[in-house]
Amino acid sequence: MRLLWFFALGLLFAYSSCSKDLPAEYQEPIDARDEVIGTYKGIKVFTCWSGTGSIYNHDTTEAEVILSKGDSISVIEVTLNPLCCNDKSTFTYSDSVFKSTRLFYPQTLEVSASKLYFYHRGSKGPVWTEYFAQKTL
């Protein structure tokens, strides 16, 4: 009888110490984009050279930036309101780093905690647009 109790306790201990995690092939992959997608509200700053000396003009308006998942894995689509450029802005997102998919004059996107920074310079001329925003709940 004691042998049966030791055997039962041994089985109980063996099963309780087993990992309850599923094998990797059965687990749902975690999409890192979930932590950055959403709506960000802030300001848009348009900067251009005034043409006299080294003076720059700045125009500031309220803005909204929406980050959403793209069609393929690791792609983030950026919707800007008001627009700063005519084409859609897309970035790849890997290891908390955004990389523009544009080959010429790539844009910059940085998200830290709940703050967003977007930079677009469409030519070599002294004209650029920046967005500074914070994530809304």
Q: What is the pLDDT of residues 10-35, one digit of tens each?
A: 666 666 655 566 666 667 778 889 99
Per-residue confidence (pLDDT) for residue 54, from 0 to 100: 79
Q: What's the pLDDT at 24?
A: 62
Of 129, 51, 41, 135, nearest to 86 by C-alpha is: 129
How does pLDDT run across 44-96, given as a tens digit for each residue? 999 998 877 778 899 999 999 999 999 888 899 999 998 877 667 999 999 88
In DSSP notation, 28-77 reads PPP-GGGGT-EEEEEEEEEEEE-SSTT-EEEEEEEEEEEEEE-SSTTEEE
Paired residues of 130 in beta bridges:
45, 119
Tell me, what's the pLDDT at 6?
63
Contact 50, 63 (CB under 8 A): no
Domain 32-135 in this protein, CATH class:
mainly beta
